[in-house]
Structure 1
Amino acid sequence: MLYQHRLVSTGQLHRLFTPHARRPVYLRQQLNQLRADGLIDATTRRSTRRGRAEHLWYVTAHGADAVAHDPTIPQRGYRITPQTAASQLQDHTLMVVDTGVVFVEWARRLGHECSPLDWVPEIAHRIRDGESRGLDDAFMIPDAVLRYTHTSQTGRRRMLSYFIEVDRATMQTSRLAAKLAAYARYQTYIPSTGLRGRRSSREAWRDHYPAFPRLLIVLAGASDRVLANRIQDLRALAAADPRVAQLTAGVTTLQLLQAKGPFAPVVTPLAGAPASTDAFLGPAGDTCA
């Protein structure tokens, strides 16, 4: 879990692995043992809400090497260091984990399927051929790719996949517009085969997903008024770009997801009517993605 998600708080681990326990005593014992073995370490975050420090856990280089020897675990090139664990990236990383925790908790409550390993942060998806000026130019990198299996009351199972984009109301609208455009480019990107400039016969995403994932933008870190304005800005950006309007995409807040769950009417579509919907982002009878 720590290898895949980079930085996770004790509270988040407790909610994911030992929610039945009132206090995470056993969890802390295991964390302290792993720390004593040199496999993981911790930094702290000062909580302004509760006024006390909270441990944030991550794998050490030794721990990452140990995980990498397991052939069943997807390899992650990114290695977190004590410096990055203590850096200003804390809040964003933890918010991505918080979003995943919401889906796991509501899946548990509703009888659906979503495990602590069913989302993966920052998977790069190529969106153009040839040389590039950098990652922003050649790749679309969602904050996470999340998979979720929904089971209806009639027993119908639907395998859903999401591109998760989190925004703490700190990103400039121009950057948001560029990120939305990158998702739209990936939806239609057909890679070159390398044979005299010939193109593949299908879009690149079809090699990884049974249907193009829904895009869910999760907002936090500001007042309700600021977040409501942010949602209006995002809808305006989508309306200004016909390609973005073709995405199955919506925006919500972390607070709404936590309080009501992803399958309550807590999501505002990026395109079309602004009426609230749920994380299906479409008619009740649409196809699985």
Structure 2
Amino acid sequence: MTTVLSPAATSLPRLGQQLLPILYQHRLVATGQLHRMVTPHTQRPVYLRSVLSQMRAMKLVECTARRAGRRGGPELLWFVTPRGAEIVEASREVTSRAYRISPETAASQLQEHTLAVVETGLAFTTWARALGDECGPLDWEPELVHRVRDGENRLGDDALLIPDAVLRYTRTTPTGRRLLTYFLEIDRSTMQVGRLGRKLTSYARYATYVPAPPPGQRFTAAGAGREAWRDRYPAVPRLLIVLTGASPTVLQRRTEDLRALAAADPRVRRTSQLAVGITTLEELTDRGPFEPVVTPLLGDPILGDALLASPSAS
């Protein structure tokens, strides 16, 4: 598909044209994350900062300071303005989203979770580059909505499943190429484990959810018993829970608590279609997704990798 850019976008250098859809899709990204994402070949992000400043002067992007204290001074976080969003949507390069981040939201307590989601996707992107696989800056999308039950005007938490991100990764091995799709749940150790446990039930429900036909209609022979995920994915996405924000001891305890909750949940235990694993952001970043850094949610706690093989995985 040919990308159609507005006059404002075409006046940007190529790097600026690359940055706009990334900021639109990921909402809030730190300068250092953008550097590792799009200019990893440079030692320092001097040119990147220059282009971001140019985009800000054109009122395409804006920035705010990171709330958490960091060594070396505050870090800038970047997001698109309404004008920048309009340009991205007109190009049709990424999926249009109704969500708009405001300066108030960018400066709020949601910063760290948003940045942790980006950091998780960036870990996959960085290792894909090192391993000769495919996973680029636009290969994960935050907060895609999935319905997990029927009901008129039911839009509450029990009717919708919203992963922190859906990530697509193409793994290349001597035996061929393999498309992997992940639901990502990022836990910064700020929510009760029980709340995350309840979300596991929603994931299990989605793996087997068959939408009811519209009122007054019946299933056709071809559509009878067809799970909702088949209209979006080649297989049920693997679920990877990524823990961060606490000491290794605390994260290990949370892993054990999640495994205990899953073992006590009959729906999760019975849903063999859903492969689930738990890792930490630090291990994922330092060692990569295809090293033994993932603890399975069910069964023996033997470390494996992010392939998370299950009977129906492909």
Q: Counterpart amino acid of 2:195?
A: R
Equivalent of residue 263 in structure 1, options 267, 290, 294: 290
Q: Which residue matches 2:151?
A: 130
1:64-121 deviations in Å (ceiling 9; x for gaps): 1111112342111110000000000000000000000000000000000000000000
Decide whether the 8 Å contact of 2:67 with 2:111 is kept in 1. Answer: no
Decide whether the 8 Å contact of 1:132 with 1:138 is kept in 2. Answer: no
Equivalent of residue 191 in structure 2, options 171, 176, 186: 171
Equivalent of residue 264 in structure 2, options 223, 240, 254: 240
* Alignment pair present for 1:224 and 2:252: no
d(CA) in 1 for partners of 2:144, 2:67: 29
d(CA) in 2 for partners of 1:135, 1:122: 15
Decide whether the 8 Å contact of 1:46 with 1:52 is kept in 2. Answer: no
Count matched residues: 286
Q: Counterpart amino acid of 2:80?
A: V
Decide whether the 8 Å contact of 2:150 with 2:159 is kept in 1. Answer: yes
Q: Counterpart amino acid of 2:201?
A: A
* Alignment pair present for 1:102 and 2:123: yes
- Report the CA distance between 1:233 and its aligned residue: 0.6
d(CA) in 2 for partners of 1:287, 1:268: 17
Cα distance change of structure 1 residues 47 and 55 upon mapping to structure 2, 3 Å threshold = same
Q: Which residue matches 2:10?
A: none
SS in 1 for 2:141: strand
d(CA) in 1 for partners of 2:205, 2:313: 22
Equivalent residues in 2 for 1:131-280, closer than 5 Å: 131=152, 134-152=155-173, 154-196=174-216, 198=218, 200-201=223-224, 202-245=226-269, 246=271, 247-280=274-307
Q: Please, what is the CA RMSD of the aligned residues?
A: 1.6
SS in 1 for 2:157: helix
SS in 1 for 2:76: strand
SS in 1 for 2:134: coil
d(CA) in 2 for partners of 1:80, 1:103: 25
What is the TM-score with the length of structure 1 in the denominator? Answer: 0.95
d(CA) in 2 for partners of 1:180, 1:132: 23
Q: Which residue matches 2:19?
A: none
What is the TM-score with the length of structure 2 in the denominator? Answer: 0.88
SS in 1 for 2:298: coil
Decide whether the 8 Å contact of 1:40 with 1:58 is kept in 2. Answer: yes
Decide whether the 8 Å contact of 2:167 with 2:184 is kept in 1. Answer: yes
**Identical residues among aligned pairs (%):** 60
Decide whether the 8 Å contact of 1:120 with 1:145 is kept in 2. Answer: yes
Q: Counterpart amino acid of 1:230?
A: R
Q: Counterpart amino acid of 1:186?
A: Y
Equivalent of residue 111 in structure 1, options 115, 127, 132: 132
d(CA) in 2 for partners of 1:240, 1:51: 46
d(CA) in 2 for partners of 1:243, 1:189: 12
Structure 2: gaps (5+ residues): 1-21
d(CA) in 2 for partners of 1:219, 1:279: 14
Structure 1: gaps (5+ residues): none
- Report the CA distance between 1:133 and its aligned residue: 5.4
SS in 2 for 1:150: strand
- Report the CA distance between 1:286 and its aligned residue: 7.8
- Report the CA distance between 1:19 and its aligned residue: 0.6
Q: Which residue matches 1:63?
A: 84
